Amino acid sequence: MGIQQSYQKFIVGMLLFLGITVHHVSAQQRKNVVIIYSDDQSYHTIRAWGNPEIQTPNLDLLVAEGLSFKQAHVMGGHQGAVCIPSRVMMLTGRYLNRLPQDGSTIPDSIIGLPEILRTRGYTTFHSGKWHSDKNSHDRFFSAGDHIFFGGMHFEGDGGQFNPFVYHYDGGGRYPKDNGWKSETYSSQLYADAAIKFLGSATAKEKPFLCYVAFTSPHDPRTPPSGFRGKHHPTDMTLPPNFLPQHPFDNGDLRVRDEMLLPHPRTPEAIQQQIALYYDMVSEMDAQVGRILAVLDSSGLRENTLIIFAGDNGLAVGQHGLLGKQNLYEHSIRVPMVFSGPGIPKNQSSNAFVYLSDITPTIYDWLEIPVPSSVEASSLLPIIKDSRATVRDRMYNIYGHWSRSLKTRDGYKLIAYNVNGVQTVQLFNLRKDPWEMTNLYRDPTQQRRIKRMWQQLQEEMQTKHDDLDLELPNWGRKVGQKGSGS
């Protein structure tokens, strides 16, 4: 009897041991995802990417630990709030022209990454900005906190210092009297919520998607103490393509972003704005560091894919502009870095990618079938080989009057039709990365222009774009209307 009892105890003990071992292995094999999204951050605002005037120590570490996509783009928007479609494209893998109302409302037919992961047992957590409808937010996320419904923190509503936010409501309601003005600076507030979640038992026990959507460095450019003055205006190099004003009507010269400074722009005013912009980026960088630290301390870093990206760029004085309502590189190119299991360290890719490629890449990384509503491309081939590519050209959109095409040989064409006035620009980005010399009138470029125009039309057709654009007549004399800048 004693031998039998001892044998039974041995068997029970072994089963318990095996159970604990299986639980431990499953926890180690479980794959998590953290997406950190900044607001209005242009591609050139990471020190490790070659800007010695900005201080971004935590993003620099992330770059060293991961794969940088140096040619990441937002596809664009049909209206000034480019961040609306950007965030929806990123979470759904959808392209712009088939997003109803630019993504202000996400219909059930467009399936979101968090929605799929939620059905597979993931906790889908969100903190920060949500600029679409509340029903889709409820569909996508099973948890969250410090949620901001809107586009930016207007100073009259509390600004960055007192953002109006909500606790997560499992019923998807959010009546206004349930929200409150926080006394915590926006970036810290959103990071606090993410850090609390990442340190919780839930994050350790179940796989998760954690989406942190900052409202920085979007204006109002009011960095908090400790960061304000980190970058001094007189130390800021004026961009080579600084102009007091844009040389022609691009269709949106009086949108809200462009009215933040008087016209014409002065060098001193732009240097001041650059310094404040960099201060905001540095503050947000500190919050990114706090999030990475809790992933390390909680033991989650080793099985978590981290994606950092910006929703769109910003001009801040380039080409006489301040905002993102244009198709120049400063406004369509964004930072994007992947880090985590299976991601090469301290490598970069110059492949053409969209923010919407993030969703199919995550599906592939998690080995989950990609829903049919996804239109973008997985970046897994580039993760496996940083020399790989997924597309040969970039097509971008702004408003109902401008489109651009960029090709692998370094040329970029921008076409405008503003109230019937047609303008075309051609830039050689390899020789002219600041887009300062328009080659459209160069007789040696006419064959290239015709070829790129045809390619642009092809992109518009395949991307469901019905804008009516015509190439202006050839052979105009220099100075005739429509010749560009």
Are 371 and 406 part of one and the same domain?
Answer: no
Q: What is the pLDDT of residues 197-229, one digit of tens each?
A: 999 999 999 999 999 999 999 999 999 999 999
| Ranges of H-type helices in 142-266 | 186-198, 201-205
| Ranges of H-type helices in 247-384 | 267-297, 329-332, 358-366, 380-384
**Cβ atoms of residues 379 and 357 within 8 Å:** yes
When mean pLDDT is compared across 11-15, 180-184, 211-215, 328-332, the lowest value belongs to 11-15
Assign residue 132 the CATH number of its domain.
Answer: 3.40.720.10
Q: Is the pLDDT confidence value at 481 over 60?
A: no
Are 365 and 425 part of one and the same domain?
Answer: no
Over residues 403-409, the mean pLDDT reads: 98
Are 387 and 408 part of one and the same domain?
Answer: no
The number of distinct structural domains making up the chain is 2
The pLDDT value given to residue 426:
98
Mean pLDDT of the chain: 92
- Can you tell me which residue has the tokens 């969250």? 144
Q: What is the pLDDT of residues 437-465, one digit of tens each?
A: 999 999 999 999 999 999 999 999 999 99
The pLDDT value given to residue 406:
98
CA separation, residue 174 to residues 148, 177, 321 (Å) = 11, 8, 37
Are 328 and 424 part of one and the same domain?
Answer: no
List of residues 6+ apart from 64 with CB closer than 8 A: 48, 345, 346
Are 65 and 194 part of one and the same domain?
Answer: yes
The answer to the question of residue 26 being in a domain is: no
The pLDDT value given to residue 30:
86
Q: What is the pLDDT of residues 4-56, one digit of tens each?
A: 444 344 433 443 344 433 333 344 458 999 999 999 999 999 999 999 999 99
Per-residue pLDDT band at 477 (split at 50, 70, 90): very low
For the chain, how big is the Rg over CA atoms in Å?
A: 24
Quote the CA–CA distance of 485 and 435 in Å, as a whole number.
10
The answer to the question of residue 470 being in a domain is: no
Residue 179: exposed, middle, or buried by beta-carbon count in 10 A (0-12, 13-18, 19+)? Answer: middle
Whether omega for the bond prior to residue 217 falls within 30 degrees of 0, making it cis, is yes
The pLDDT value given to residue 40:
98
Domain interval for residue 92: 31-391
* Pairing relationship of beta strands 180-181 and 164-165 according to DSSP bridges: antiparallel
Taking the CB of residue 144, how many other CB atoms lie within 10 A of it? 25
Quote the CA–CA distance of 436 and 247 in Å, as a whole number.
11
Out of 359, 391, 423, a domain closes at 391
Q: What is the pLDDT of residues 59-85, one digit of tens each?
A: 999 999 999 999 999 999 999 999 999
Q: Which long-range contacts (CB under 8 A, 24 or more apart) does 256-261 make?
A: 256/80, 256/323, 257/80, 257/219, 257/322, 257/323, 257/324, 257/325, 258/321, 258/322, 258/323, 258/325, 260/219, 260/322, 261/322
Quote the CA–CA distance of 221 and 278 in Å, as a whole number.
9
Quote the CA–CA distance of 221 and 269 in Å, as a whole number.
13
